[in-house]
Amino acid sequence: MFKKASWLLKNLNNNNIKIVDASWYLPNIGRDAFKEYSHGHIKNAVFFDIDKVANRKTMLPHMLPTKKYFEKEVSKLGINNRDTVVIYCNEGILSSPRVWWTFSFFGHKNVYVLDGGLKSWKLAGGLLINKKSNIKQSNYKCKYKNKELVIKYSKLKNILSNINLKPIILYARPHLRFLEVVPEPRKNIGKGKIPGSLNFPFSLFDNNGFIKSKTEIRKILKKATNSNSIVCTCGSGVAACNIALSLKYIGNTKWKVYDGSWTEWYLNNRSSI
């Protein structure tokens, strides 16, 4: 699930380890993740753009790409099927879980998140470089898709309309957004949340960018993990993966990520919201 910066330092020059910078920011933040990557990244790291490696045929942001497109883009990054993929981001474990989940969905077995992100790398004595990584294109092939890791809008809608089914919907966004106090970061998307959602901000699971202990996470998720059906949501499917990663970390496999999250839900239900 996680790799420590000390481990990565020791294995930095291993050809079978691929390092992925998955940094990403909300559109209202005003930061350019690729520009920051260009100015400083871990040696040999490649940049994974979640807005590019996505379904380009939908207006929804960074939705899961097709199998063929994922294979094409990952091949460009020089990643092979048997590689150990270590994913990091600038802000602790903010957006790296989204890329972890994407690789997991497409069946990549050895995929990890760097605990603490770039902060941990620097604390461990790791250096950042601005030299362009030398990438040798691969021929990446997905053997299967873990469809059980995702739930689509139509399925979630049907579940919520059935009184006999009681999924627990975990909402990963900040509490003020859950309370509908602060505005949405995306234009034309109103405030709100999926009916019945419980607020579990992604910040609950980390301590200054480092993942909390399994014991602490089990306490946080004690009530939620009693359910046989857990749906992880957020604004557009990024922070939801932080909850998914935390659940996986404590051995819970009864979860799915709602990829479209609040953005899709709002657009499909705005007339009644």
Q: Are 198 and 118 in a shared domain? A: no
Which residue, 196, 215, 197, is CA-closest to 207? 215
Q: What is the pLDDT of residue 132?
A: 85
Burial group, residue 100, by CB count within 10 angstroms (0-12, 13-18, 19+): buried
Q: Which residue range(s) make up the domain with 22? A: 2-123
Which residue, 30, 252, 206, is CA-closest to 113? 206
| Average pLDDT, integer, range 142-149 | 91
Q: What is the pLDDT of residue 165?
A: 76
Orientation of helix 153-160 relative to helix 261-269, angle to 10°: 70
Query: pTM for the whole thing?
Result: 0.96
Among 71, 91, 123, the domain-final residue is 123
Side chain identity, residue 203: S
The answer as to whether 181 is a domain residue is: yes
Count of the separate structural domains present in the chain? 2
Q: Are 167 and 116 in a shared domain? A: no
Q: What is the 3-state secondary structure (H, E, C) of 110-176?
A: CEEEECCHHHHHHHCCCCCECCCCCCCCCCCCCCCCCHHHEECHHHHHHHHCCCCCCCEEEECCCHH
Q: Are 206 and 156 in a shared domain? A: yes
Q: Are 106 and 196 in a shared domain? A: no
- Taking all residues of the chain, what is their mean pLDDT, rounded to a whole number? 94
Q: Are 153 and 266 in a shared domain? A: yes
The answer as to whether 170 is a domain residue is: yes
| Average pLDDT, integer, range 13-19 | 95
Q: Are 268 and 151 in a shared domain? A: yes
The answer as to whether 39 is a domain residue is: yes
The answer as to whether 131 is a domain residue is: no
Q: Are 157 and 201 in a shared domain? A: yes
| Average pLDDT, integer, range 92-100 | 96
What torsion do the CA atoms of 220, 222, 227, 233 make, to the nearest 10 degrees? Answer: 0
Q: What is the pLDDT of residue 74?
A: 98
The answer as to whether 205 is a domain residue is: yes
| Average pLDDT, integer, range 80-103 | 96
Q: What is the pLDDT of residues 194-229, one digit of tens each?
A: 999 999 999 999 999 999 999 999 999 998 888 888
The answer as to whether 142 is a domain residue is: no
Q: Which residues are catalytic?
A: 234
| Average pLDDT, integer, range 87-91 | 95
Residue 134 has pLDDT above 90, yes or no: no
* Interatomic CA distance for residues 24 and 18, integer angstroms: 19
Q: Are 158 and 262 in a shared domain? A: yes
* Interatomic CA distance for residues 25 and 91, integer angstroms: 9
Q: What is the pLDDT of residue 224?
A: 86
Tell me which of 13-17, 147-151, 253-257, 269-273 is least confident.
Answer: 269-273
Q: Are 198 and 92 in a shared domain? A: no
Q: What is the pLDDT of residue 111?
A: 98
Q: Are 158 and 253 in a shared domain? A: yes
Residue 73 has pLDDT above 90, yes or no: yes
Among 123, 139, 168, the domain-final residue is 123
Which CATH number do you get for residue 35? Answer: 3.40.250.10
Q: What is the pLDDT of residue 271?
A: 76
Q: Are 110 and 187 in a shared domain? A: no
